[in-house]
Structure 1
Amino acid sequence: MKVLIVEDEVRLGQFLKQGMVEHSYTVGLAHSCAQARDALCDTHYDAIVLDLGLPDGDGLDLLREWRRSGFNEPVLILSARDTVEDRIRGLDIGADDYLPKPFSLEELQARIRSLLRRHSTAKETVLEHRGIRLDLLAHAVTFNGQPVDLTSREFALLEIFMQNVGRILPRTLIAEKIWAAAYDIDTNLLDVYMSRLRAKLDCEPGKPLFKTVRGVGYQLV
């Protein structure tokens, strides 16, 4: 599991990272809003630990931005703002949990485990968008009611887009999810798979399903 820690205090951030790494998590560390945005563009994370008092902005604004862009993974706010009003606001904006400072590392780890368990069991098994119906359990796809024959890799690629409708997905993120590694994005392999997916699904003139964002990646619109 990959966790992103967004914390402006360098020593605390390193302490949290070390504690998570010792429990077999892959951990990214960001000290500002800008670094956090870049981290999410570069790779996928299964959960985020978010401080609110960041040097270049408010963590709540960052959280709101993520939710509006389609990022649905669990976010735990870790903040010195500990009034009831602060917690309610954070949860209303889109946080999944709120842990005030000072805190116990063991409790933080337990809450992250709980969030990841809840998130994994809450995932939908049938995804639908603009005539596409993807059944994760049956491993089947239909488009406008007609079955679509996809390879396992094409199915995995479509699943990523269906779980992130409207979100621009960087090429590196797609490669990590499909090939389980940061694939060489200079090759045209991803483009080949996108071309195949478009040929099977993108058949309505003037209303493309997939948008190429030049220099970044792709988007299901």
Structure 2
Amino acid sequence: MRLAVVEDDRSLAEALRRGLVQEGHVVDVARDGVEGLDLVESGVHDAVILDVMLPGMDGMTIARRLREEDIHVPVLMLTARDALSDRLNGFNAGADDYLTKPFAFEELLARLRSITRRAGAIGGEMLVVGDLAMDTRAREVTRGGKLIDLPPREYALLEYLMRHPGQALSRTMILERVWEYGFDSFANVVDAAILRLRRAVDEGYDNPLIHTVRGVGYRIKA
């Protein structure tokens, strides 16, 4: 894979670059936020390792800008701050996962594999709910023949819903499957992602497919 590392700590950035190159990846490094945003906007990277505290522009702003520009590259956010509110802010800004410093390099590799696997096609089947279709090999979603562009997290969320049509899925179940977190404190992250998914999938249609199950969570059905 070709990876972007946006990290102002020179020693950490170099350690990441060396380790990732040894794993067979091509690595581009930026050491401030403005340079990092320019780098990722090139659209050539398979994933981004993004520090939160950066000179010029912080990582939260970069992640938010990327999503606003419809750049859906998977983002692994790094930070020395481990407060729940910081993690929630990262997810809401558009990060796909969050890793607290210090961390083991093996864990970083595992999380990179996870977010890129979610972003890519898994299997080769067609999932269909009403006039909504997902081609998991091509990683394409259409409704009524119209192509819908989704970021990796919303794509993974929709895939999970579509693999369980008609089933009421709790927020905890969704967190464990899509975010790989099992904490109810993250429930508002699920709600925010569902809101974005509804805008992409249901907005402008008379028959919404994504439904709230009061006191439980969500389901998709025609």
* 1:101 positional shift: 0.5
What letter corresponds to residue 27 of structure 2 in structure 1?
Answer: V
In our comparison, the structure showing a higher alpha carbon Rg is 1
Distance 1:57 1:22, change over 3 A: same
* 1:124 positional shift: 10
- Matching of residue 65 in structure 1 with residue 65 in structure 2: yes
Map of 1:24 onto structure 2: 24
- Matching of residue 102 in structure 1 with residue 99 in structure 2: no
Gaps of 5+ in 2: 127-134, 139-143, 151-222
Counterparts of residues 141-220 of structure 1 (less than 5 Å): none
2 CA distance for matches of 1:63 and 1:83? 19
Distance 1:86 1:44, change over 3 A: same
Q: Secondary structure at the match of 2:120?
A: helix
Q: Tell whether the 8 Å contact from 2:40 to 2:48 is kept in structure 1 after alignment.
A: no
2 CA distance for matches of 1:86 and 1:123? 34
Identity of aligned residues (%): 38
1:88-107, Cα deviation, whole Å (9 max, x unpaired) = 11112211100000110110
Q: CA RMSD in A?
A: 3.1
2 CA distance for matches of 1:104 and 1:31? 21
Distance 1:65 1:124, change over 3 A: farther
Q: Secondary structure at the match of 1:17?
A: helix
* 1:62 positional shift: 1.0
Q: Tell whether the 8 Å contact from 2:2 to 2:47 is kept in structure 1 after alignment.
A: yes
Moved >4 Å (runs of 4+)? 122-126, 135-138
Q: Tell whether the 8 Å contact from 2:43 to 2:71 is kept in structure 1 after alignment.
A: no
Map of 2:38 onto structure 1: 38
2 CA distance for matches of 1:57 and 1:7? 12
Under a length normalisation based on structure 1, what TM-score does the superposition of the two structures give?
Answer: 0.55
Number of matched residues?
Answer: 139
- Matching of residue 9 in structure 1 with residue 9 in structure 2: yes
Distance 1:105 1:55, change over 3 A: same
Map of 1:88 onto structure 2: 88
* 1:73 positional shift: 1.6
Distance 1:60 1:125, change over 3 A: farther
Q: Secondary structure at the match of 2:121?
A: helix
1:89-145, Cα deviation, whole Å (9 max, x unpaired) = 11122111000001101100111011111111369999xxxxxxxx8979xxxxx98
1 CA distance for matches of 2:57 and 2:31? 11
What letter corresponds to residue 105 of structure 2 in structure 1?
Answer: L
Q: Secondary structure at the match of 2:73?
A: coil
What letter corresponds to residue 120 of structure 1 in structure 2?
Answer: G
Under a length normalisation based on structure 2, what TM-score does the superposition of the two structures give?
Answer: 0.55
Map of 1:53 onto structure 2: 53
Q: Tell whether the 8 Å contact from 2:124 to 2:137 is kept in structure 1 after alignment.
A: no
Q: Tell whether the 8 Å contact from 2:76 to 2:99 is kept in structure 1 after alignment.
A: yes
Distance 1:123 1:55, change over 3 A: farther
Q: Secondary structure at the match of 2:99?
A: strand
Distance 1:123 1:97, change over 3 A: farther
* 1:47 positional shift: 0.5
1 CA distance for matches of 2:103 and 2:30? 20
1 CA distance for matches of 2:124 and 2:95? 20
Distance 1:65 1:43, change over 3 A: closer
Map of 2:76 onto structure 1: 76
